[in-house]
Amino acid sequence: MPAREQLFYDREEDFLCKFASAVTAAMQVLDGNWQPNWKCDDKVRAQRDRLVATRSLGRLVFDGADVTYSEDQVAAVQIALKSSSRRMMVHVTKRGPQFSAALAQDELLPDGVGERR
């Protein structure tokens, strides 16, 4: 892997399997606003997209994650979450073996549509 590389995950199940520790750190700052779906699949994603399109997705769901590697190790993770009326971004950094998280964005959407990035 090059000195610095960034990967994007749009499948929640793939991201959760590889970055459970980062997810745990993110959940601590989200105060129960997001519950990861460990059984997410294409059918679940299609249903969520329909709910967003009809402006009826009330809970936050995974919308993607950017993972930045530096020197072959995870350096930072950005987790994007969405609902029909809200968009959130959590920034997770890794220092040594520990992950720490901070809320980077919490936006109420005026038109009520949480469109995919």
Query: Is position 67 within any domain?
Result: yes
Q: How many domains does the chain have?
A: 1
Query: Is position 115 within any domain?
Result: no
Query: Is position 94 within any domain?
Result: yes
Question: What's the pLDDT tens digit per position in 22-60?
Answer: 999 999 999 999 999 999 999 999 999 999 889 999 999
Query: Is position 116 within any domain?
Result: no
Query: Is position 46 within any domain?
Result: yes
CB 41 within 8 A of CB 62: no
Query: Is position 114 within any domain?
Result: no
Query: Is position 53 within any domain?
Result: yes
Question: What's the pLDDT tens digit per position in 81-108?
Answer: 999 999 999 999 998 889 999 999 999 9
Q: What domain range is 37 assigned to?
A: 4-108
Give the integer Cα–Cα distance in Å for 115 and 101: 24
DSSP state string for 97-114:
TEEEEEEEEEEE-TTS--
Q: Is the pLDDT of residue 114 over 60?
A: no
Q: In 10 A of CB 102, how many CB atoms?
A: 12
**pTM of this structure:** 0.89
